[in-house]
Every structure is written in C-alpha cells, then in structure tokens.
C-alpha cells in the first residue's frame, strides 16, 4: 500500500497542499505551506492504529499554519507540559512508520513545540 | 404519495459469537417481515465495513437470496456510520415517489469477529487515508481533538459532558435490545480509562454486533389500514468539508444543521413541534454538538441541559430513549436503522417502559465521520 503515500511524497516531505479558500475544492496546483503555526487543539491517544503501537501514547494536534491552513500532525520531541493550545509549533521531517506489506519506511511531517 | 414505516425488527446489540453477519441480518429481516404481509420490492442493506469485519461483500444479493426473495433487486449502501440511515433514505425516496411500493431496509454490522485494533482501522477508513490515517490519528483521536476544543472554547466542564452518557445509560436499563442495560454515574465516566484525552472510555460508544430492519411502504402496498404505521414526513442528507480539522469552525456541525433544516422543511414542520430526537452520540462531544446544531441547545449548553433533565424521558424533549449509541450500542452501519426503528416504536406506542408521553413527531439524526455526512428523518403518527 506504500504507493498511495509515495504518490504524494512532496506533500509529506515539503508540507505542500492546496485548497480553494472560497469553495474548499482541491483541484489546484500544490504550494509550499509555511512551516510554523500554532496549536489549535491537541489530544493524547492511548489506543493506536496498527503500525503505531510503539508510539503510544501518541500526541496529536491540529496546527493552524501562518497562512491559516490547518494540518493534523503528531507532536514529537516536546515535553508533555509544553503541548498546549496556542503553543507555537514548527514542522520537522521524521520517520512515520514501516509499511506492513512492503517493509518500506514512510517519512513525513511532524511538529515540535518551539 | 405517503410513505410509512410499517414494521421493524431488532437484534440485541452485543457480542454475537454464535451468529454471523448474515445470521444477524436475516434475524432482523424476518422479524420485520413477519409483522406484515407485504413482499418487499427491493432489499437495501446499510453496512459500513463488512469487507474488513467479515471479509464479505455483495450483501444485498447475499441477504435477498437467504430470505428466498429470488428476482428482487438488492444492494448495499455505504456512508460510514451513516450507512443505515442512508440506505433508509434511498428506500424512502423511491417508495414516496411511487417508483416502488415497498422496500426492506436492513442495517447490519459485524464488529466482534476482528481484533480491536482492526476495528479502529476499519473505523478510521471513514476518514482520509492520506492525512488522517497516515499520521496515526484514529477516529477516537479526532473526537478527542474536538472535545478539547469544545471544552476550552465553550467553557464546558467534565461533569456537563458526562451528563450525556449518563442519560443514555439511564434509558438503556429498560431497553431489551440495548448492549449495556446498566445505569452509570458521572464519576464512572470521569474515572474510566483515558482513550483520547480528554475523552475517556465512557465518552465513547462501544463496539458491538447488531442488525436492525425496517419495512418501508406506501399506500399502494398497505391500503387504507393505518394501524401500526409511522409516517415518514421528511428526510435529507447533507455533506460538508471532509475532515473536521479543515473546517473554519470545528465546533459547527454544518451537515447536521443543513440536513435538519431541509428535512423539517420537507415535512412542513416547525422545529418547535419536534417531540423526541434520536441523536448520534458516538462520542459525548458529538451528541452535544449535534444537539446544538439542531438548535435544541444553545452553544456550549447541551451538557448542562442534559444535567438539568431537559432530555430525560419525561423532560422537554427526550433524546436517545433506548440508550442511544452509547448504551444501546453502535454497530456502525446498523445504527441509523436502530434509531429509525426506535422512533417507530415511540410513535406507534410500542416503546414499553421507554415510552415517551404525548408524542406526535420524532426526529432521527445519524452522522458519518465527524459530521461529514449527516442524515435526518422526520416521523409522525400515521393519520
């Protein structure tokens, strides 16, 4: 299944995306997104999806980037008490998981609190 | 043409170790068909993940052939957790228009044949594989994010949120088809295991197997006899931005707002006449935001209203009268049909100890994803 993620690797590696601000449609050319933003809300997940067992509990947050775009991402390398609403966060590239079928290592964006 | 629910069939929600997905679907179907001498002209199955849950697809033909309905058109409708009510809406639309005169709608889900983490993955398929699943976010995680946002922005307390699962459990005690027939206190909720902070185990609907069926008919099929019928007065489906985190206001359940408004318009009914709501409490926060989207509670007030008894069986506007998703259970693709069957039981005076008094109109609200799809139906007493 890794191919469905390989296909959009630029989005994962370079934090690219697109969306029409008026109607929400997504058939535009991808643009680089700003790599910093602030935490809008966060959670700590105790029951992982398959492939994420070793990372429990998993910190996740909705980050509002400087241009207003939102991204759902893991928060890593951050002391628990610093993960709070309004905290500034910066995108980093990290290993996400190993694909179960092919063994390929998938990389993508995660965020650290500054 | 008028359309009605003519009979329903319910399997108890829970761990059906001895029954297969097909056994459950057949069981609910036979109960619904036994009540009426009407041969369904179509069989429509609502189901979300039989491929993951039972490695079985092609459910329409599978069920129709098992019911001995050779020649009958039959197929499955999928719309995540709103699959059941979406299947019902297809039947309602066709029967109301007169394209067909009767349809059997069967919601079914088999969740307990697979491991819990496989259930989590199957549920996460209602969300984006590329941006939600990829980062490790389960469906519970999205609702945890939503719950924190709700509690922080609207200043909602733990106890207020807990009032919703407490209410659902209270109503399930006397509901024969409910999964958990046990009352709980707010302390049970606030001390239960953390799932996706701040959501705890008792904020979340359980995993269970189930099937529910409803026979939908028009006047051509049923003649003039109106006994044991509930009229379907309106129905609407609405969709909005796919993932909750991309919406300008995450706390606005716009799909529910739109579907509720359209369904009531179709029914020609003001919101003030709605006497009962079966709402989608897959998570406590989802129940709260759904009630607020339907205008039953002001923003941030749904938990407080529940705590004050407004939604009790003898309150202003009873909700989730057989336990809702939280305590009746949430066999995902079947849930919408359970809700509709419960509205039917209420309007035909067959709700037993769970009967709401002086009821004329009932609403069901079922959502797929985090209010990505919303399906609302309006029912009234048959006249």
For B188-208, what is each residue's pLDDT tens digit? 999 999 999 999 999 999 999
Kindly determine whether residue A72 and residue B136, on different chains, have CB atoms separated by under 8 Å.
no
Q: For strand B210-218 and strand A105-113, is the pairing parallel, antiparallel, or unpaired?
A: unpaired
- The partner residue sitting opposite A47, judged by closest CB among B135, B138, B142, is B138
Residues B100, B150 within the same domain: no
Tell me which H or E stretch contains A9: helix A9-14
Domain final position from B187, B222, B257: B222
CA B180 to chain centre: 16
Residues B107, B172 within the same domain: no
Domain final position from B222, B255, B272: B222
Residue B13 lies in a domain: yes
Give the C-alpha separation, B162 to B199, whole Å: 10
Q: For strand B199-200 and strand B102-109, is the pairing parallel, antiparallel, or unpaired?
A: unpaired
Residues B260, B374 within the same domain: yes
Residue B102 lies in a domain: yes
B359 touches B347 (CB < 8 A): yes
Residues B110, B9 within the same domain: yes
What is the SS3 assignment for A74? strand
Of A16, A37, A45, A67, which to mutate for an interface test with B (greatest number of B Cβ within 10 Å)?
A45
Residue B125 lies in a domain: no
First-to-last alpha carbon distance for chain B, in angstroms, is: 13
Residue B204 annotated in active site: no
Give the C-alpha separation, B332 to B108, whole Å: 8
Residues B84, B155 within the same domain: no
Q: pLDDT digits over B323-337, tens only?
A: 999 999 999 999 999
Q: What is the CATH number of the domain that holds B355?
A: 3.40.47.10
Tokens 């609502």 appear where?
A: B46
Distance of residue A89 Cα from the nearest chain B Cα, in angstroms: 16
Domain count of chain B? 2
Q: For strand B3-10 and strand B194-196, is the pairing parallel, antiparallel, or unpaired?
A: unpaired
Give the C-alpha separation, A48 to B242, whole Å: 22
- The partner residue sitting opposite B135, judged by closest CB among A24, A50, A72, is A72
Residues of A in contact with B151 (CB under 8 A): none
Kindly determine whether residue B195 and residue A108, on different chains, have CB atoms separated by under 8 Å.
no
B32 touches B215 (CB < 8 A): yes
Using alpha carbons, list the distances in angstroms from residue B338 to B13, B16, B109, B126, B308: 10, 17, 12, 20, 27
Residues B95, B191 within the same domain: no
Measured from the Cβ of residue B23, the count of other Cβ atoms closer than 10 Å reads: 17
Residue B228 lies in a domain: no
Q: What is the mean pLDDT of chain B?
A: 97
Residue B123 lies in a domain: no
Locate B309 and state its tokens. Answer: 């008894």
Q: Is B66 exposed, middle or buried (0-12, 13-18, 19+ CB in 10 A)?
A: middle
Measured in residues, chain A has a length of 114
Residues of B in contact with A110 (CB under 8 A): 135
What is the SS3 assignment for B150? helix
Kindly determine whether residue A62 and residue B120, on different chains, have CB atoms separated by under 8 Å.
no
- The partner residue sitting opposite A60, judged by closest CB among B131, B133, B135, is B135
Residue B121 lies in a domain: no
Residues of B in contact with A11 (CB under 8 A): 130
Residues of B in contact with A61 (CB under 8 A): 145
Distance of residue B307 Cα from the nearest chain A Cα, in angstroms: 25
Distance of residue B144 Cα from the nearest chain A Cα, in angstroms: 6
- The partner residue sitting opposite B120, judged by closest CB among A12, A19, A49, is A49
pLDDT at B60: 98
The complex scores an ipTM of 0.96
When pLDDT is averaged across residues B17-24 and rounded to a whole number, the result is 98
Kindly determine whether residue B145 and residue A61, on different chains, have CB atoms separated by under 8 Å.
yes
Residues of B in contact with A93 (CB under 8 A): none
B120 touches B139 (CB < 8 A): yes
Domain final position from B193, B222, B251: B222
Q: Is the pLDDT of residue A17 over 80?
A: yes
Residues B156, B83 within the same domain: no
Kindly determine whether residue A42 and residue B137, on different chains, have CB atoms separated by under 8 Å.
no
> Containing domain of residue B178, as a range?
135-204+233-381
Residues B247, B291 within the same domain: yes
Residues of B in contact with A54 (CB under 8 A): none
Chain B residue with minimal CA distance to A8? B130
Residue B167 lies in a domain: yes
Q: Which neighbouring-strand residues pair with B374?
A: B238, B367
pLDDT at A102: 81
For chain B, how big is the Rg over CA atoms in Å?
Answer: 19
What is the DSSP secondary-structure string of B273-313? G--EEE---SBHHHHHHHHHHTTSS-TT-HHHHHHTTTTST
Question: Of B376, B145, B141, which Cα lies nearest the Cα of B250?
Answer: B145
Q: For strand A105-113 and strand A88-98, is the pairing parallel, antiparallel, or unpaired?
A: antiparallel
Kindly determine whether residue B116 and residue A47, on different chains, have CB atoms separated by under 8 Å.
yes
Residues B218, B80 within the same domain: yes
Residues B177, B143 within the same domain: yes
pLDDT at A21: 78
B2 touches B218 (CB < 8 A): yes
Cβ–Cβ contact B121 with A under 8 A: yes
Measured from the Cβ of residue A68, the count of other Cβ atoms closer than 10 Å reads: 10
Give the C-alpha separation, B91 to B107, whole Å: 12
B106 touches B63 (CB < 8 A): yes
Residue B330 annotated in active site: yes
Residue B129 lies in a domain: no
pLDDT at A1: 62
Residues B110, B161 within the same domain: no
Cβ–Cβ contact B137 with A under 8 A: yes
Q: pLDDT digits over A44-61, tens only?
A: 999 999 999 999 999 999
Residues B321, B372 within the same domain: yes
B175 touches B328 (CB < 8 A): yes
What is the pLDDT confidence band of residue A19, given thresholds at 50, 70 and 90?
confident
- The partner residue sitting opposite B145, judged by closest CB among A11, A58, A60, is A60
Give the C-alpha separation, B10 to B335, whole Å: 11
Cβ–Cβ contact B192 with A under 8 A: no
Locate A25 and state its tokens. Answer: 């449609």
Question: Of A73, A70, A111, A58, which Cα lies nearest the Cα of A89?
Answer: A111
Kindly determine whether residue B135 and residue A48, on different chains, have CB atoms separated by under 8 Å.
no
User: Which residue is catalytic, options B16, B177, B280, B330?
Assistant: B330
Distance of residue A9 Cα from the nearest chain B Cα, in angstroms: 10
Residues of B in contact with A4 (CB under 8 A): 129-130
Q: pLDDT digits over B158-175, tens only?
A: 999 999 999 999 999 999
Q: Is the pLDDT of residue B295 over 90?
A: yes
Q: pLDDT digits over B204-239, tens only?
A: 999 999 999 999 999 999 988 888 999 999 999 999
């Amino acid at each position: 299944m890794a191919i469905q993620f390989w296909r959009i690797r630029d989005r994962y590696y370079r934090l690219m995306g697109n969306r029409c601000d008026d109607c929400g449609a997504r058939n535009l050319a991808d643009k680089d997104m700003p790599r910093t933003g602030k935490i809008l809300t966060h959670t700590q997940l105790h029951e992982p999806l398959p492939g994420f067992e070793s990372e429990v509990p998993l910190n996740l947050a909705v980050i509002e980037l400087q241009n207003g775009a939102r991204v759902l991402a893991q928060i890593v390398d951050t002391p628990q008490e610093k993960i709070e609403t309004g905290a500034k966060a910066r995108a980093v590239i990290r290993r996400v998981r190993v694909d179960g079928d092919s063994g390929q290592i998938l990389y993508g964006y995660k965020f650290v609190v500054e | 043409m008028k359309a009605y629910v003519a009979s329903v069939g319910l399997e108890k929600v829970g761990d059906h170790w001895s029954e297969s997905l097909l056994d459950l679907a057949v069981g609910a179907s036979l109960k619904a068909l036994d009540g009426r001498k009407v041969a369904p002209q179509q069989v429509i199955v609502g189901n979300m993940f039989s491929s993951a849950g039972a490695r079985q697809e092609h459910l329409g033909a599978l069920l129709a052939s098992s019911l001995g309905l050779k020649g009958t058109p039959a197929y499955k409708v999928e719309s995540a957790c709103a699959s059941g009510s979406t299947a019902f809406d297809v039947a309602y639309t066709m029967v109301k228009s007169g394209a067909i005169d009767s349809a059997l709608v069967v919601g079914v889900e088999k969740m307990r044949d697979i491991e819990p983490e496989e259930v989590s993955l199957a549920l996460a398929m209602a969300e984006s594989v590329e941006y939600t699943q990829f980062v490790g976010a389960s469906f519970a995680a999205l609702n945890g994010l939503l719950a924190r946002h709700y509690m922080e922005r609207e200043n909602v307390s733990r106890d207020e949120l807990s009032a919703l699962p407490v209410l659902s459990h209270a109503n399930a005690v006397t509901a024969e088809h409910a999964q958990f027939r046990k009352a709980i206190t707010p302390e049970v909720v606030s001390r239960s295991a953390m799932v996706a902070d701040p959501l705890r185990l008792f904020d979340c609907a359980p995993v269970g197997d189930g099937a529910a069926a409803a026979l939908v008919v028009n006047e051509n099929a049923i003649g003039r006899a109106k006994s044991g019928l509930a009229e379907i007065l309106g129905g609407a489906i609405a969709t909005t931005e796919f993932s909750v985190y991309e919406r300008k206001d995450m706390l606005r359940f716009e799909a529910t707002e739109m579907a509720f408004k359209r369904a009531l318009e179709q029914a020609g009914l003001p919101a003030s006449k709605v006497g009962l709501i079966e709402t989608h409490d897959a998570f406590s926060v989802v129940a709260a935001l759904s009630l607020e989207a339907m205008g039953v509670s002001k923003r941030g007030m749904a938990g407080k209203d529940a705590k004050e008894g407004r939604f009790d069986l003898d309150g202003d506007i009873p909700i989730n009268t057989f336990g809702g998703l939280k305590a009746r259970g949430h066999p995902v693709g079947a849930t919408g049909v359970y809700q509709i069957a419960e509205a039917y039981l209420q309007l035909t005076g067959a709700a037993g100890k769970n009967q709401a008094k002086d009821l004329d109109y009932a609403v069901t609200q079922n959502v797929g994803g985090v209010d990505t799809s919303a399906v609302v139906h309006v029912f009234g007493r048959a006249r």
